[in-house]
Amino acid sequence: MEHIYKEKEKGAPVFVLLHGTGGTENDLVPLAELLNPRYNILGIRGNVQENGMNRYFKRHGEGQYDWEDLDFRGNELYEFIVKKSEEYDFKLEDVVFVGFSNGSNIAIQMMLRQPGTFRKAALFAPLYPADVKEKQDFNGTEVFLSLGKGDPIVPESESERVISLFEDRGADVTTAWVNGHSLTQEVAMEAKNWLNK
């Protein structure tokens, strides 16, 4: 998978950057550097194409996931991160997911499939439209969720579902609301405060 790795400080946490539809591995670098300039950065490009746009998994339409593909791609991405952790010498528990939209969604998939592995995530405009039966243990996991009022892609009921998904499993959840399907300077600052508290 196409990726970048920027080492700032040996042994510091590592931002794993997961872009939105049509993005690249570089999209969220300015956000990462705002959140904490000394954290290392692993930016990963989604390797699924949708009308020439990079994504992390296939879908049948807006909000209609190809669940089989999501499962496959989530495992593939997890294995890629494991490989890079060995190559660049960092621990999986030091990973902080930073995702926007499609990137947030595959981060949720990996957290559900590998409970206890990833302990921290800042997820902007997430959507995970499924009733998850399994009760994973997210105790000790901290999640910042940026959700949209009047988001044309993610109804508020689906944002509430994502909040419940984490809270019901014991995660420490911090929420912030923005207008629409966006990642604003204001919410980036809220995420920074959350991360460095």
147 close to 125: Cβ distance less than 8 angstroms: yes
The catalytically annotated residue of 19, 104, 151, 159 is 151
Strand partners, 34: none
Please give the Cα distance from 149 to 159 (Å, whole number). 9
Residues making up the chain, counted from first to last:
197
- Cβ contacts of residue 184 below 8 Å, gap of 6+? 178
| 89 is annotated as an active-site residue | no
- The catalytic position among 19, 27, 85, 181 is 181
Query: 3-class DSSP state for residue 36?
Result: coil
Is 101 catalytic? The answer is yes
d(CA 159, CA 35): 23
Q: Which of 101, 104, 146, 159 is catalytic?
A: 101
Neighbours of 58 (CB within 10 A): 16
159 is an active site residue: no
The residues carrying an active-site annotation are 101, 151, 181
